């Protein structure tokens, strides 16, 4: 079974976090949500999320993908945490997936992981970084790095993650169950 780590920081964007976790679990992917500490997470709009475990405990196992929800100040808390930087570095060195949405691609950019790549994020979040080919697509994949723009693209982002981890057939099956309107 594919496994995904979703770190949850205080002030994360709840729509992005919950959408990713929900859709990946619908696809049968093992998702572990991990708080940066042992407290419930108060998301950016006041929703309280209870992580499955702490980041310290979550990092005792390996994952196929790490997904960073955005939101402020959540993305800033992720960026400031050396454990997050460590797991992202490890994922890159072992050729596994890293994904980030909204303000969180800034974490990847700050580590140089988007240099020479196509990426997207919330408008303005990547403006301070050189060497990134900024795209306005809802979801941008460049190799094993997947980025997305914001809360309105969270469902497209999660479906793209499913496709990479378990294939297009499973993605289509999950999407059909969502009863989304035709995108055409």
- Residue length of the chain: 184
Q: What is the largest CA-CA distance in the chain?
A: 44
Omega of the bond leading into 73 within 30 degrees of 0 (cis)? yes
- Tokens 């205080």 found at: 10
Q: If we measure between CA atoms, which residue out of 142, 38, 139 comes closest to residue 131? A: 142
Residue 108: φ, ψ to 5°: -65, -45
Hey, which residues does 159 pair with through a beta bridge? none
Which residues carry out catalysis?
102
Half-sphere exposure of 166 (CA within 13 A, CB side): 21
């Amino acid at each position: 079974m594919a496994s995904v780590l979703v770190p949850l920081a205080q002030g994360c964007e709840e729509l992005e976090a919950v959408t990713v976790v929900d859709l990946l679990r619908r696809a049968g992917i093992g998702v572990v949500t991990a708080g940066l500490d042992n407290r419930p997470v108060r998301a950016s709009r006041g929703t309280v999320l209870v992580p499955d475990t702490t980041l310290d405990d979550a990092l005792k196992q390996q994952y196929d993908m790490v997904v960073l929800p955005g939101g402020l100040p959540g993305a800033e808390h992720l960026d400031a945490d050396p454990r997050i930087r460590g797991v992202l570095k490890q994922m890159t060195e072992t050729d596994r997936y890293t994904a980030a949405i909204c303000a969180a691609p800034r974490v990847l950019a700050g580590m140089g992981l988007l240099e020479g790549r196509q990426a997207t994020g919330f408008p303005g979040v990547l403006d301070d970084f050189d060497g990134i080919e900024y795209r306005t697509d809802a979801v941008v994949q460049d190799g094993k790095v997947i980025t997305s723009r914001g809360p309105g693209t969270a469902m497209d982002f999660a479906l793209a993650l499913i496709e990479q981890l378990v294939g297009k057939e499973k993605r289509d099956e999950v999407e059909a169950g969502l009863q989304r309107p035709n995108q055409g």
